[in-house]
Amino acid sequence: MLCPFAAVEWCFDWLAFVLSRWAFLEVLEYLGSFSILIAVIFYFSESGDRLKQKHYQAWQVINTAQGKGGSGGRIEALQELNADRVPLVGVDVSSAFLQGVHLPRAQMVRSNLNAVDARNSDFHGTNFMAANLKAGNFRAGNLSGAKFEDADLSGTDLCSANLTGATLDGANLDASDLGHADLNNIKWEKIKSIRGASLEKVRNPPAGFLDWAAQHGADLTGAHSDCQ
């Protein structure tokens, strides 16, 4: 009763043996591997174009939303560009909602962050040289090691911000709120102006800074601060 099944099995064994000896199948196997190799080569050869396209789309998101409130996808676009080490020089994100954005060591020279809402954000080591941060909200942000040479920080909310090691040469801090901010090791000797700035309960102020600030019109009492 099992003879037919045994015969079928023998036929398949014979066929498998013959096919295993067939050089053409080996050629096909090599061709398959070769085609995969070619596909990999093309993938990496076109990676530069794909990266350019990704950056173009990110800039398109940022520029399309320019001057508008809300995020409009700009948080993700900015973070993506910065992660790829693309300079954000001159970027205009004025009035944007960028709360919680992470842009460490970004190059934001001459950028426009006027009236931006960037609370609880990470800008440590970022270069804001000659940038417009006027009336921006950087409350509780990480701005340690940031460079603010010749930047406009007038009316900026820096309440409880971490400004450790920040460089403020030539910066305008008029009417800014630095209440409870950490000022440890800031470079302050060449600040352009600090008139009307609130310095209530600042943490770790450098020696001589508060006396100098008071002499140049800063408020040490917190009378003009809403920092809690």
pLDDT value at 110 more than 80: yes
Question: For 70-92, what is the mean pLDDT?
Answer: 94
Residue 195 has what DSSP assignment?
Answer: T
Return the structure tokens found at 106: 């970004």
Share of the chain above pLDDT 90, in %: 69
Under 8 Å between Cβ of 156 and 132 = no
Q: What is the pLDDT of residue 44?
A: 44
SS3 32: helix
What mean pLDDT, rounded, does the chain reach?
86
For domain 88-215, which CATH number applies: 3.90.1300.10, 3.30.160.60, 3.40.640.10, 2.160.20.80? 2.160.20.80
Confidence of residue 97 (pLDDT cuts 50, 70, 90): very high
Distance separating alpha carbons of residues 41 and 39, to the nearest angstrom:
5
Half-sphere exposure of 161 (CA within 13 A, CB side): 29
Contacts of 202 (CB under 8 A, 6+ apart): 178, 179, 180, 181, 182, 183, 210
Q: What is the pLDDT of residue 46?
A: 46
Contacts of 105 (CB under 8 A, 6+ apart): 82, 124, 125, 126, 127
So where are the chain's domains? 88-215
